[in-house]
Amino acid sequence: MMNNKIAQQALPKTKPYELRDAKLNGLLLRVQPSGVKTWYLEFERGKRIRLGRLSSMGHSEAVEAAKNALGPYWAGTDPRIERQKRKQVSTFGNFIDEHYADWAAAHQKTATATIKRLKVSFSKFLNMPMATISPLDMERWRAQRMKDGVKTNTVNRDITAIKAALNRAVE
């Protein structure tokens, strides 16, 4: 039976390998030779979706994510297509309000300050689809903030906050 301890203790080998969960069919942990461990849900033979890395989600979170991903499959649609649709229409502001704020409240001491920082500093990006925010947009934003006289430390804190949020969105 898979649990956090077994997942953490899985050692990398010369070739990638997978550990399957005994309780939830299709849930597996793939261990790469580099040591990276990633949760996947295989809902049909050869059809998988990535749930996230072990470093950011434990076994219980992976089980919940797998059950959520199986909902569309049980309803007769491909979960990969559902996930792509959500990513395409999801704006940065919606992501902050619907997903990141709850996660931040549970995992960060300064969650309210971080959410406020994201909404105030990156108001330009709130209505943009997340898939369209590019490194060039970020560089232009940074240059404008520096031109406006904002201190480098403040700009760097803002960049760190949005990087953390966008990394969470990718997971």
Mean pLDDT of the chain: 86
**Res. 89: pLDDT tops 60:** no
Confidence of residue 77 (pLDDT cuts 50, 70, 90): confident
The SS3 assignment for 35 reads: coil
Tell me the DSSP string of 48-71.
EEEEEETTT--HHHHHHHHHHHHH
Confidence of residue 144 (pLDDT cuts 50, 70, 90): very high
Give the model's pLDDT for residue 143: 94
Tell me which H or E stretch contains 164.
Answer: helix 152-170
Q: pLDDT per residue over 4-20, tens digit each? A: 788 878 899 999 999 99
The SS3 assignment for 36 reads: coil
- The correct answer on CATH 3.30.160.390 for the domain covering 4-88 is yes
Confidence of residue 158 (pLDDT cuts 50, 70, 90): very high
Give the model's pLDDT for residue 33: 95
What order do you get walking across the sheet with 17-20 strand by strand? Answer: 17-20, 27-31, 37-44, 47-53
**Res. 86: pLDDT tops 70:** no
Q: pLDDT per residue over 47-60, tens digit each? A: 888 888 988 888 88
**Res. 83: pLDDT tops 60:** yes
Give the model's pLDDT for residue 133: 85
- Selected residue with higher pLDDT from 149 and 25: 149
